[in-house]
Amino acid sequence: MNVKIFDTPEVQDFLKAVSGFDQSGGNDRAKQIMHRLLSDLYRLIDDFDITPEEYWSTVSLLNELGAEKQMGLLSPGLGFDHYLDMRMDAADEQARLDGGTPRTIEGPLYVAGAPVAEGEARMDDGSDTDAEVMWLTGQVRDTHGNPIPGAQVEIWHADSKGNYSFFDPTQSDYNLRRTILADDEGRYRVRSIIPSGYGVPPESPTEQVLSALGRHGQRPAHIHYFVSAPGHKHLTTQINLAGDKYTYDDFAFATREELVIEGTRIEDPAEAEKRGLEGPFTEVVFDVELAPTEVSELQDRHKRPRALEQA
């Protein structure tokens, strides 16, 4: 077709009408954002000479993404989650609230209400007998190096097949999900299993989008954290286990150099016994530093829809 109509007064007036500029009701911010979004898309249709076939196949793809609840999966794949992190990092730097362990994306697989334990917990239900035992431990400190007793450490991760409890109905409730309150020295200790990485569902609409970009949909083995304590900035982060094929090639862009942790295989029975374990295991140590802040809204995780979390 190769026609250009975007800049005509007719199209510009049409965009204003579609965005509700001539209506007294509605929400001003919503109108402004929709106007900008539609303008960018209309211009794109002109510039790329989008055909009706291309447009309607995209509508169909969006329907599929929604029907399969995959927008939360595509979002990190298209870098939005990491981009929001980059903006929050920049805002922290500007407000001199930087320092401490870096944040990274939350992902869509958190479930609220995991059992709470003091100091120490076992996270796996013992059913994954082929999995490597993981001893995961660390200390929560402030940015001056002082331990933070009672800090709340929420941990969640996948099983050895890359699946998360709740979303995988074959697992027991809250398997591989715990909240640990740090001990008097700010330490937490967890017995669990080494998780596996995972990929977006094969043949899924998310995979379709990534394939069109020549990209894969794989994540390395990783462990999610929320860490918080009164008077400190809430931290959403995750660690990537070193040595995974995708450690530095995560489709969700969550990897940060400071968050890549190498596990240590320990075969000495005395070391296992010290930790109450029966055999060889892999120890993973992740210390966390929280930046101090008096701003109360920074001390909690930001709002977003989460499984089993009250709005």
Residue 80 CB, shortest distance to Fe ion, in Å, is 16
Measured CA to CA, the distance from residue 241 to residue 220 in angstroms comes to 7
Residue 104 CB, shortest distance to Fe ion, in Å, is 11
Total residues contacting Fe ion by CB under 5 A comes to: 1
Residue 59 CB, shortest distance to Fe ion, in Å, is 30
Strands 198-199 and 218-219: antiparallel
Nearer to Fe ion, 42 or 198 (CB): 198
Binding residues for Fe ion restricted to 91-150, rule: CB under 5 A: 107
User: What token pair was written down for 10?
Assistant: 């007719």
Residue 75 CB, shortest distance to Fe ion, in Å, is 13
77 binds Fe ion (CB under 5 A): no
Measured CA to CA, the distance from residue 197 to residue 219 in angstroms comes to 5
Residue 105 CB, shortest distance to Fe ion, in Å, is 9
Q: How far apart are the first and last CA of the chain?
A: 48
Residues 289, 293, 299, 302: what is their CA dihedral angle, to the nearest 10 degrees? Answer: -100
Position closest to Fe ion via CB: 107
Nearer to Fe ion, 218 or 228 (CB): 218
Nearer to Fe ion, 42 or 225 (CB): 225
Backbone Cα Rg of the chain:
23
**Cβ pair 299, 234 in contact under 8 A:** yes
Classify the C-alpha dihedral 60-64-69-73 as positive or negative: negative
Nearer to Fe ion, 101 or 196 (CB): 196
Nearer to Fe ion, 219 or 232 (CB): 219
Contact positions vs Fe ion (CB under 5 A) = 107
